[in-house]
A and B are shown apart, each in its own frame.
Chain A
Amino acid sequence: MATIKVTRPKLSLLEKLYFPSIVKGMFVTFKHAVRSLRGKSIGGDSLNTSGLGVTMQYPEQKWDDHLPEYYRGVPTLVTDEQDRERCVSCQLCEFICPPKAIAIIPGEIDSDDPWAKVEKRPKEFDIDMTRCIYCGMCEEVCPEQAIFLRKDYAMTGLTRADMVNDKKRLYEIGGVRTGLVNKWNDIK
């Protein structure tokens, strides 16, 4: 077996002392410190800096505008252009939800309602956010394009009950979603 002899690099006296390297390092640090004080930190913009350095002062500053379209935040219910609640309480999301976060009580739409032909809508719709794992299965399974994971992620509450989003709140967060398939159109 061939043996390779490695010789140690010969260091000059200056190199043998630690001091110059430390000064070099400090210089880099101070350069960034000065930039930071001038509000010019590298990457500061994209990280939504608070102005001082790259530190984001959460929750005053947030990164929300950077969230991609496919971000999986809080699951919510949506209405459409015609102001129709899209969910028909088919309970498929309740069935698919891995941690059983969804609880639906289905109900019938009154015959004098303008959308009476849809026949069915949820009477109650609760999503327990202490259970939800933000997996997005509910959105994927929904045959009516009624449930979407929105960009909200900061669900907080002081009690367990606070952490359950009821139907009213789900529609509040969900808002209006346009451009979805309009299955319940005039022909239907």
Chain B
Amino acid sequence: MSDPTTTQLPKDLAAENGMVNVQIDGHWIQVPRGTRMIEACKIAEKEIPHYCYHSKLSSPGNCRMCLVQMGMPPRPAPGAEPEYNDDGYQEIGWMPRPVISCANTVAENMGIRTSGELVEKCREGVMEFLLINHPLDCPICDQAGECSLQEFSVGYGKGQSRFKEDKIKKPKNVKIGPRIRLDDERCIMCSRCIRFMDEVADEPVLGFSERGTHTTVGIFPGKELDNNYGLNTVDLCPVGALTSNDFRFQMRTWFLKETDSIDTHCGTGANITIWTRGNKIFRITPRQNDEVNSCWMPDSHRLNYICPTDEDRLTACLIKADGVHEETCWESALEAASEALKQFDASEIAIIASGSQTNEELFMMLTLATELGSEHLSIVARDQASDNMLISSDGNANSTGAKLIFQNSAPSSQLANILEGVRNGSIKAVIAASENLLEAAGFSNEDLEALELLISINSQANATAQASDIVFPGAAPAEKRGSMVNITGRLQRLNAACIPPGDARSDWEIIRDLILSISGEVAQEAPQSIDALSKILASSIPEFEGKHLTAISDLGDIVAETGHSIPLLKREAERKANGEIVG
């Protein structure tokens, strides 16, 4: 291969595909031209410790943790031709000083060493500098257990301190907003929080003041970090400098179990991780999905969850007798419901489903409507203002799913007729699932009182449950397994992080048993598990063909064209195209 004229060199082969050859720790790989060195190392499965670099933010290169040794072929003397070895590469001349891998891009025939004496000594030095003024707070620090400073200190640090002087004091336990606490002594000045507020949240309220070891991150005078995306800075902060008031001192992270699921507060369906211990939810954090929510989620959605241990959860079936609810068992509640429904004509019964039910639940609602012969089936529309970031203008998490399952482009269109029917007396019985009718559905207390029969599935003790003749205790989103389709037509999976409290069950199970109770069919013929139901669903709805629960990929699959897009992702794509971020 030494004759470059007869054989193609690796550099030419790579260049044809817009790639370059990089040697990482002795192995040659091809990566796209313009890749950051740190990303190239990630492709080569070499971990580079880093603090300030984040692929969705600009790269200031200020923490120096990502130092590696770099080498390039020496420039040939004037008139000399570059020499290639037997493999077709030029010899690498290693630089005596390290470079940061997060802000430099790869080049043809570049060499990167992610280990070796130089790199290890550099990392030890950087760790030592980061730790000289760091407080011994780990026992009281919420970040402990998921702290990059702890991890890299163990992995790459010196193991002991040579710093004998008094540490510098900085503000501790500062309330910089309604939801966030700042501890400046723990801050390592990576500036991720500052960049996030500036570049993504577009509300720059954080900044550095002072110089040298006195550098302090802080909030601008007269400002507050009250942005609805503020808690993302807590996730971003590699140390425990920014902590969430909601999660503060609630539980150490190593006790928490992580369950991947999706947010059900709006049509975006942000990917989330639910952190639980026992049957209690401790926090919810965003999970990266570049097609849905990037790495972020709004505070209003993450803090607003229903936990099995909440006081207002319904834990038993209730039947109203003489105006008072009495607890009862599933058998008698289901029997009472089916008996009561048989008193009415099919046209007198309406079924109100929820746009935040899973596909499987909506499918069961449809089956129930078919079983009863009722034509009045509707979800409740929830139009709201989009925040032009992640919160969509559709307050329902699964309107798209309802459209596909009901085969109706306006699944909430029947609601007005139902309300009208209730008011003029043609509809006498209503089955409402996971909807508080007094809210978005537009029912009034008088409407509910006018009904002869109101059966509801509710997870919380709300006004609809209060007004219902029969109440079935339902499951909250964190207790459900199922699938939903977001506004962009992406089919995504919810996983159950908790089990429903007491006697409560998932909606699909309740509806299945109600159908069995009405039809008198044998239980064995109905789906016995959510996975069995999802297979039935996948074979009944053409868009879901082959997409039963276990077949949905972890980041979801597109099943419908909706023409919707997510504003934050658009801006992210622009910044990526401009080369501001890696993306």
Residues of A within 8 A of B (CB): 88-92, 94-95, 106-108, 117-120, 143-144, 183, 187-188
Contacts and interface: CB of A to CB of B under 8 A. Distances in A.
B501 to A, nearest CB: 20
Given A91-B251, A91-B252, A106-B251, 14 more contacts: A89-B249, A95-B255, A106-B250, A108-B249, A117-B172, A119-B173, A119-B249, A120-B249, A143-B138, A143-B139, A183-B136, A187-B166, A188-B135, A188-B136
19 contacts: A90-B139, A90-B144, A90-B252, A91-B251, A91-B255, A92-B139, A94-B255, A95-B252, A106-B250, A106-B251, A108-B248, A117-B172, A118-B140, A119-B140, A119-B173, A120-B139, A143-B138, A187-B166, A188-B136
**Interface range, B side:** 10 to 19
B254 A95 contact: yes
A135 B434 CA distance: 50
B382 to A, nearest CB: 37
Contacts of A188: 135-136
Which secondary structure dominates chain B's binding surface?
loop
Nearest to B181: A119
A114 to B, nearest CB: 15
Contacts of B255: 91, 94-95
A166 B172 CA distance: 31
B139 A144 contact: yes
Contacts of A88: 139-140
Interface in B123-164: 135-136, 138-140, 144
Contacts of A92: 139
B254 A106 contact: no
For the complex of A and B, list the 10 residue pairs with the smallest distance between their C-beta atoms, beginning with the closest. A90-B139, A120-B140, A91-B252, A106-B249, A143-B139, A88-B140, A88-B139, A119-B140, A108-B249, A120-B249
Nearest to A183: B136
Interface string B97-139: 0000000000000000000000000000000000000011011
A144 to B, nearest CB: 6
A107 B250 CA distance: 7
A90 B135 contact: no
Nearest to B138: A143
Contacts of B173: 119
A141 B172 CA distance: 26
Nearest to B254: A95
A95 B252 CA distance: 9
Interface of B: 135-136, 138-140, 144, 166-167, 172-173, 248-252, 254-255
A188 B248 CA distance: 21
A106 B251 CA distance: 7
A183 B255 CA distance: 26
A112 to B, nearest CB: 13
Nearest to B136: A183
A186 to B, nearest CB: 10
Contacts of B144: 90
A94 B249 CA distance: 15
A107 B139 contact: no
B53 to A, nearest CB: 30
Contacts of A91: 251-252, 255
Nearest to B137: A119
B140 A90 contact: yes
A187 B136 CA distance: 12
Contacts of B139: 88, 90, 92, 120, 143-144
A183 to B, nearest CB: 7
B280 to A, nearest CB: 11
A89 B249 CA distance: 9
A107 B254 contact: no
A120 B139 CA distance: 9
Contacts of A94: 255
Contacts of A143: 138-139
Contacts of A108: 248-249
A146 B189 CA distance: 33
A14 B128 CA distance: 88
A187 B168 CA distance: 10
Contacts of B166: 187
A183 B252 CA distance: 21
Nearest to A187: B166
A67 B251 CA distance: 37
Contacts of A90: 138-140, 144, 252
Contacts of B249: 89, 106-108, 119-120
A139 B321 CA distance: 58
B379 to A, nearest CB: 41
A88 B349 CA distance: 59
B478 to A, nearest CB: 21
A144 B135 CA distance: 14
A117 B139 CA distance: 13
Nearest to B140: A120
A120 B248 CA distance: 10
Contacts of A118: 140
A187 B166 CA distance: 8
Nearest to A95: B254
A94 B278 CA distance: 15
B143 to A, nearest CB: 12
